[in-house]
Amino acid sequence: AQSVTQLDSQVPVFEEAPVELRCNYSSSVSVYLFWYVQYPNQGLQLLLKYLSGSTLVKGINGFEAEFNKSQTSFHLRKPSVHISDTAEYFCAVSGGYNKLIFGAGTRLAVHP
């Protein structure tokens, strides 16, 4: 079985500062890893995904994440955040057929 732990429930940050949202996973099989973003009153949309290959994955809106197999982590980073990045961010893992498991989410609050 797979599981996902997002280590921070909330991350406050000032505009233009860098940010890292942490995600650890556990799985007994090879996994696919994802970050999704949910803006207020909207559904989730894909930010980026790791399926195989390069461990550094670039996504939309300037976000990137690094897959670290030895540490079973997939942390999300952005070098300079904007007010518009304020949202809920979900890490997710898929290791089996038709089953994407989400972490509890991290609320990113960007302040001016």
Partner 1 sequence: DTAVSQTPKYLVTQMGNDKSIKCEQNLGHDTMYWYKQDSKKFLKIMFSYNNKELIINETVPNRFSPKSPDKAHLNLHINSLELGDSAVYFCASELANTGELFFGEGSRLTVL
Q: For binding to partner 1 (CB under 8 A), which residues are involved?
A: 32, 34, 36, 38, 41-46, 49, 51, 88, 90, 92, 94, 97-102, 104-105, 107
Alpha carbon distance 74, 66 (integer Å): 5
Shortest reach from residue 110's CB to partner 1, in Å = 18
The smaller minimum CB distance to partner 1, of residues 18 and 69, is found at 69
Shortest reach from residue 16's CB to partner 1, in Å = 26
Joined together, the tokens standing for residue 69 give 């197999």
Shortest reach from residue 81's CB to partner 1, in Å = 20
Quick count: other Cβ atoms within 10 Å of Cβ 53? 8
The smaller minimum CB distance to partner 1, of residues 15 and 72, is found at 72
The smaller minimum CB distance to partner 1, of residues 15 and 101, is found at 101
Shortest reach from residue 57's CB to partner 1, in Å = 13
The smaller minimum CB distance to partner 1, of residues 32 and 77, is found at 32
Task: State the distance between the two ends of the chain, measured CA to CA, in whole angstroms.
Answer: 41
Alpha carbon distance 39, 60 (integer Å): 14
